[in-house]
Amino acid sequence: MIRAFGYTIKQAFVQLFRNKNMSTASVFSITAMMLILGLFFMLVVNVNLLASSAEDQFDSIEVYLLDEVTQEKAEEMLEEIEDFDGVARAYYMSKDDAMEEMKSRWGENAYLLDGLVDNPFPASIIITATDLSVEGDIVDQLEGMEGIEDIKYYQEMVGKILSITNYIQTGALILIGILIIVSIVVVSNTIKLTVHARAQEINIMKYVGATNWFIRGPFLVEGIIIGILSSVISAGIVGFAYYQFVESFQQRLLILFSSGMVPFEFIMINLIIIFVAIGISIGALGSILSMRRFLDT
């Protein structure tokens, strides 16, 4: 068993080196596929995060109060609002609270806010709806109340974001599928060349009574090595690019979206797992496919 394994691995490397050019070419093309794949992967993961944080962040209705509304009056309004249909939670945010929240969101740039003489942020009541679709009804009821300066809600925008994300995800999945199929074809063509180069040897192996798996083994391992090599290279490149991107844009994005970007570590770990899994499958499938006809007795 171990002997057979050693033979298989050794043969696989011998074949890889004997077909240096073809092996390199297929590692390159699969790496290219995987780079694109990685791009889509990062896009999808971040769009996902964006969508769910948009849902979290914008699923609330912000009711800005006139400056003349006192704290007691506001508490009364809060109680009234909590009884509306479709309201899950509601809380009061004073002018000072609003300032603090803005400061924490701006992070390093918060000192800019210190220069302000008057606190420009209004007090507000923040309402969380049980569901995006009932926000309109809640707003209708709010409009009958006194002391409200402005109502902000994002029902339509969130709805749009969610449907756009859906399109992006579906599109990316289809593209990923196509890329994987193309990669399998690339590997299978490389292996086919090795198989042809070794046609005579395989023929003799069959006459001497080698099992199909014994014959297939080295080619399978060859394909898997190509797959793993490509996946490690492309995971490295994609990971590096993502790291650079996060480093330079994270701060700016944080101001727009509280969530920021998916952390580098998370992307990297998943990238490696997914790429290696895909690489192994591409390599294995490609080589099995290329040998199928050859091994039919």
Partner 1 sequence: MIEFKNVTKMYGSNVGVENIDITIEKGEFVFLVGPSGAGKSTFIKLMLKEIEADEGTITVADREVTSLSNRLVPQHRRNIGIVFQDFRLLPKKTVFENVAFAMEILHAPRKVIKKQVPLMLSLVGISSKANQYPHQLSAGEQQRVAIARAIVNNPPVLIADEPTGNLDPDTAEEIMNILQTINNRGTTIVMVTHAKDIVDRMGKRVVAINKGKIVRDAEGAYREDD
Residues of this chain that bind partner 1 (CB under 8 A) = 1, 3-4, 7, 200-201, 203-212, 214, 297
Q: Cβ of residue 5: shortest distance to partner 1, in angstroms?
A: 10
Q: Let me know: does 126 contact 87? Beta carbons within 8 Å.
A: no
Nearer to partner 1 among residue 111 and residue 207 (C-beta): 207
Nearer to partner 1 among residue 131 and residue 296 (C-beta): 296
Nearer to partner 1 among residue 6 and residue 159 (C-beta): 6
Q: Cβ of residue 17: shortest distance to partner 1, in angstroms?
A: 13
Nearer to partner 1 among residue 187 and residue 216 (C-beta): 216
Q: Cβ of residue 190: shortest distance to partner 1, in angstroms?
A: 20
Q: Cβ of residue 295: shortest distance to partner 1, in angstroms?
A: 10
Q: Cβ of residue 1: shortest distance to partner 1, in angstroms?
A: 8
Q: Show the CA angle centred on residue 50, arms to residues 45 and 55, nearest 5°.
A: 130
Nearer to partner 1 among residue 7 and residue 167 (C-beta): 7
